[in-house]
Amino acid sequence: MSREFESVEEIFGSNVFNEATMREKLPNNVYKTFKKTISQGQFLDSSLADVVANAMKDWAIEKGATHFCHWFQPMTGFTAEKHDSFISPTTDGRTIMEFSGKELVKGEPDASSFPSGGLRATFEARGYTAWDCTSPVFIKEDGTNITLYIPSAFCSYNAEALDKKTPLLRSMDALNKQTMRVLKAMGNTTTKSVGATLGSEQEYFLVDQSFAERRLDLILAGRTLFGAPSPRGQEMDDHYFGSLHERVASFMHDVNVELWKLGVSAKTQHNEVSPGQYELAPVFATVNVATDHNQLVMETLQKIALRCGFVCLLHEKPFAGVNGSGKHNNWSMSTDDGINLLDPGSTPHENMVFLVMLGAVIKAVDKNAKLLRATVANAGNEHRLGANEAPPAIVSMFLGDELTNILEQIATGKAKSSNSGGELKLGVSALPPLPKDSTDRNRTSPFAFTGNKFEFRMVGSTQSTAGPMFVINTIVADALMEIADELEKSSNLEAAVEKILKKIVNDHSKVIFNGDNYSEDWVKEATKRGLPNIRSTVASLRTILDKENYELFERHKVLTPAELGARTEVLLEAYAMIINIEAKTTLNIAQRQILPVGVEYSGMLANAVNGLATAGVGADTQKKLLNDVCKLVDSLKNGIENLKIGLSKANSIDNSAEKAENYRDVIIPAMDGVRLAADGLEVIVDAEMWPLPTYAEMLFVR
Ligand code: ADP
Ligand code: MG
């Protein structure tokens, strides 16, 4: 635990080879050229790379590092790393510490153990990692091991993307290109580039380690597969924003310090809705760096939790009956000269740019609602989306009444609120002032405008933010491309913008919904509006393969058809694999821990009944209880057999979508059957005998 007295300023970024460090450690001319290379997204030439690598090595060694690794994000959504040491033997039997530009820029891990969705045959196991120099290298301390981390992209021998980062970087280029076209067409002469920004709020649970260690389901599946509800749940609303428990507060302090060193500013932290649930929000960064940061946040939470005697659960639904965890992705676009394009401005012209950007997002989200839904489709999130928990599986947008009103006025050409009562013209004073710092909030919307950014709330807590983000970047780039095509043709900017916005509002305002997304009425209303409501993960993943998505990603050079197909394959396989692990864990716990207790307890009761009969005393209550226990033991045993049969057939299916469907339709219900009987036993069996820590213990003991 780091408790040494250091100021936040001293700690912050101390383990990052950031701009300040680069300026200090690199010769001035190298620093300048290097910065230019990064900002223009070019390749580092080899002599420059050698100088940079050498400075990095010296800096890392000063900090105690002995190894370096290319840190990449395979399609599993987790991170991977291959460590090499700086140590290089000399002919006289000693060693020197070496690190070349080549080693910095490129790595060659054995790729065969990562999913490729069929892109790379195992015999061509070669994969390459390439330094993503837009994300700074950093040092990580794990125990006594200190390593230089190089954020990298990962691709096959044929340069096909095998990771989450490559499409994200490509989508940033696409967004930059199309947004710049629109800005230029609207008269902007100063902006040189546009990037997407992301602030990713992470929800998680903390469970005392002594409980978590006794639950094979938490160890192997990250969620409870058994457990009767706690007599007390989240109904008191006393946990949300409540004061932090001391042990948790210490944990958060240690997490902050660790993250600050890595240049991740953990800004807010508080209790969430469910008991045992918490949230961490960092300060936003460019979407690429923020995606790396979120991976570090997830790793750090888990690492520090163990140090503090907790286990951190990142799963979307670790406990039935209380809220699950998500990851709210706050997304916006900002220019190199510091303009947040989703921030309403103070001049009519700025407002016009804002409305065009807003229009592009509305169009993008409505047109690609199914694709957006698919970016958050995984086995864990299936327990949240549309399964009686927020947010629903329907993609809709919250804009707030004021903005919605203004868009309606634009569509009808009538300014309701303007005193002239005449035509509403953009860019002139008749346009009502746009709401700045909109105060209305809607906590139930899956895609909410929050004043100067959008908050995509459907993302699951375990997910890499790269997937949802590269899709948002791409669909918005696509909408902006069509807008740019129009604007570049037109000779009257205001008239063209008005026409574009009118069309967007008319065609796409069905996706705007400012009401309560959790209500049953909304589900009906959304059906009437023709909005998709896809609850099943597999059904949602299947929609990725629609023809228009292949075209979309190819048009913007984000994914080739082969890459898109491979990615979908990996996601379907992952769904089946996760349920398979859950099912096998269910069997293990049911057969080896719960059934024996049921048998033992019924034996005890039977002895009691016999004993009482011998003593000539009535044993009605004992008999009734024995009867109840035996019924549950029977149904537990039947459930186990049923699940076994299901599992023995499940893996013989070849087609990955059909296999995943079988897991959904056969295996999940079979697991539910086992759990129902087991949870029934839990509430009547002697607490002393029950083998698993209970929901009440895990959720409430701190
Ligand atoms: P909330 O709106 O949830 O009350 P904040 O306004 O502080 O809280 O923002 C929540 C998250 O949004 C934080 O991670 C913050 O860094 C991020 N955020 C703020 N502005 C932007 C932006 N322009 N782009 C992306 N993320 C942003
Ligand atoms: Mg939020």
> 286: how many CB neighbours lie within 10 A of its CB?
16
pTM for this entry: 0.94
Q: Report how far ligand 1's centroid is from the alpha carbon of 269 (Å).
A: 13
Percentage of residues in the chain with pLDDT exceeding 70? 92
Distance CA 269, CA 256 (A): 10
Residue 650 has pLDDT above 60, yes or no: yes
Total number of residues shown for the chain? 702
The pLDDT value recorded for residue 428 is: 38
Q: What average pLDDT does range 293-302 have in this prediction? A: 97
Ligand 1, residue 283: give the atom nearest the CA: 16
The pLDDT value recorded for residue 417 is: 52
Q: Report how far ligand 2's centroid is from the alpha carbon of 455 (Å).
A: 7
Q: Whose CA is nearest to atom 2 of ligand 1?
A: 450
The pLDDT value recorded for residue 125 is: 65
Q: For Cα atoms 295, 301, 302, give the angle at the middle one, nearest 5 degrees.
A: 95
Least confident of 134-143, 226-235, 425-434: 425-434
The pLDDT value recorded for residue 370 is: 98
Ligand 1, residue 200: give the atom nearest the CA: 14
Q: Report how far ligand 1's centroid is from the alpha carbon of 329 (Å).
A: 9
Does any ligand 1 atom lie closer than 6 A to the CB of residue 198?
A: yes
Q: Report how far ligand 2's centroid is from the alpha carbon of 201 (Å).
A: 6
Distance CA 675, CA 75 (A): 31
Q: What average pLDDT does range 568-594 have in this prediction? A: 97
Q: What average pLDDT does range 115-122 have in this prediction? A: 74
- Ligand nearest to the CA of residue 265, numbered in listed order: 1
> 647: how many CB neighbours lie within 10 A of its CB?
20
State phi, psi for 695 to the nearest 5 degrees: -55, -45
3-state secondary structure 444-500: CCCEEECCCCEEECCCECCCCCHHHHHHHHHHHHHHHHHHHHHHHHCCCHHHHHHHH
The pLDDT value recorded for residue 418 is: 39
Ligand 1, residue 328: give the atom nearest the CA: 11
Q: Report how far ligand 2's centroid is from the alpha carbon of 200 (Å).
A: 9
Percentage of residues in the chain with pLDDT exceeding 90? 72
Q: How confident is the model over 372-426, as pLDDT tens digits? A: 999 999 999 999 987 666 678 999 999 988 889 888 888 887 655 533 444 445 5
Does any ligand 1 atom lie closer than 6 A to the CB of residue 465?
A: no
How far is the first Cα of the chain from the last one, in angstroms, to the nearest whole number? 19
Ligand 1, residue 331: give the atom nearest the CA: 25
Distance CA 540, CA 372 (A): 10
DSSP state of 591: I
Q: What is the mean pLDDT of the chain?
A: 90
Q: What average pLDDT does range 314-332 have in this prediction? A: 95
Indicate the pLDDT class of residue 518, thresholds 50, 70 and 90.
Answer: confident
Please, are residues 359 and 496 in contact by the beta-carbon 8 Å criterion?
no
Residue of 267, 294, 330, 472 to mutate, ligand 1, most atoms within 8 A of C-beta: 330
Please, are residues 544 and 563 in contact by the beta-carbon 8 Å criterion?
no
The pLDDT value recorded for residue 531 is: 96
Distance CA 317, CA 325 (A): 6
The pLDDT value recorded for residue 124 is: 63
Contacts with 643 (C-beta within 8 Å, 6 or more apart), sequence order: 583, 586, 587, 667, 670, 671, 673, 674
- From residue 647, alpha-carbon distances to 580, 583, 640, 668 in Å are 8, 8, 11, 10
Q: Which helix (H) or strand (E) holds 338?
A: none
Does any ligand 1 atom lie closer than 6 A to the CB of residue 230?
A: no
According to DSSP, the residues that pair with 334 across neighbouring strands are 195, 340
Q: Report how far ligand 2's centroid is from the alpha carbon of 286 (Å).
A: 18
Q: Report how far ligand 2's centroid is from the alpha carbon of 329 (Å).
A: 8
Q: What average pLDDT does range 39-55 have in this prediction? A: 84
Does any ligand 1 atom lie closer than 6 A to the CB of residue 199?
A: yes
Residue 4 has pLDDT above 60, yes or no: no
- Sign of torsion, CA 264 268 269 272? negative
Distance CA 276, CA 239 (A): 8
Residue 583 has pLDDT above 70, yes or no: yes
Q: Whose CA is nearest to atom 17 of ligand 1?
A: 199
Q: How confident is the model over 227-272, as pLDDT tens digits? A: 999 988 777 666 666 667 888 999 999 999 999 999 998 876 777 7
Residue 1 has pLDDT above 50, yes or no: no
Ligand 1, residue 342: give the atom nearest the CA: 23
CA atoms within 13 A on the CB side of 649: 13
- Sign of torsion, CA 677 683 684 687? positive
According to DSSP, the residues that pair with 110 across neighbouring strands are 126
E strand map for 112-144 = 127-131, 138-142
Domains of the chain plus CATH, in order, are 8-163 (3.10.20.70), 171-422+435-559 (3.30.590.10), 575-700 (1.20.120.1560)
**Nearest Cα to Cα of residue 82 among 94, 74, 93:** 74
Q: What average pLDDT does range 345-371 have in this prediction? A: 92
